[in-house]
Amino acid sequence: MTRFLAALSLAVALLPARAATLQADKSDLAFTFKQMGVPLDGKFKKFDAQLDFDTKKPEAGKISFSVDLGSVSLGDPSYDKELAAATWFDTKRNGRATFVSSSIKPTGAGKYDVAGKLTIKGNSHDVVVPITLAAGVASGSVAIKRLDFKIGDGEWADTSIVANDVTVKFKLAFSGL
């Protein structure tokens, strides 16, 4: 019986990380930028995340994230329509932004640096996203440069009007974590 329990314990320990399910109704994805020096807040209404993670073996975890760029909202339908245009998100040709992790490194109790590739409008860049994980909720923020992803091309590339710095903030609630 002891050997059986030891073998069972070993088998459980060798199982891959459990997949967690995003609870979209309890999650938020928002961003902040400045236009003519005034902070503006926006959000995305549709997004999805896949998480395979074990706090005992975070290095073996995987995170992927997908955002429906057409679900962007600044709280005004005319601004939202403008953001869908080719100059900004070009949602007809590039309807999704994605993030796929390449590594997860613990940095403290419940804190992790998640490195990966962020792709928006066909432009990919490596980013490191600091995440805090507590009670099934992954939260954090990451600063990006919008022009790195060709967001706001042409006349909107002037950073004196719309700043290049954008802070993306998220709170992702998962069940099964």
- DSSP sequence for 6-70: HHHHHHHHHSPPEEEEE-GGG-EEEEEEEETTEEEEEEES-EEEEEEE-TT-GGG-EEEEEEEGG
pLDDT at 153: 86
The pair of three-digit structure tokens given for residue 84, joined into one six-digit string: 């869908």
CA distance 155 to 167: 22
* Residue 49 main-chain phi, psi, to 5 deg: -140, 145
Beta carbons within 8 Å of 168's beta carbon, 6+ residues apart: 29, 30, 31, 141, 142, 143, 144
Least confident of 65-69, 113-117, 152-156: 152-156
151 pLDDT higher than 90 = yes
Name the band, by pLDDT with cuts 50, 70 and 90, for residue 126. Answer: very high
Q: What is the mean pLDDT of residues 15-30?
A: 82
Is 40 in a helix, a strand, or coil?
strand
CA distance 143 to 51: 22
Burial of 9 (0-12, 13-18, 19+ CB in 10 A): exposed
107 pLDDT higher than 70 = yes
In whole numbers, what is the pLDDT of the chain averaged over residues? Answer: 89
Q: What is the mean pLDDT of residues 170-177?
A: 91
DSSP annotation of 89 reads T
CA distance 30 to 67: 11
Q: Are 100 and 117 in contact (CB under 8 A)?
A: yes
Token pair 């967690």 in the structure block, residue: 20
**What domains, with CATH codes, occur in the chain?**
17-175 (2.40.128.110)
The residue among 42 and 10 whose pLDDT is bigger is 42
CA distance 154 to 87: 7
The pair of three-digit structure tokens given for residue 11, joined into one six-digit string: 């088998």
Please report, as a single letter, which amino acid is at residue 75. G
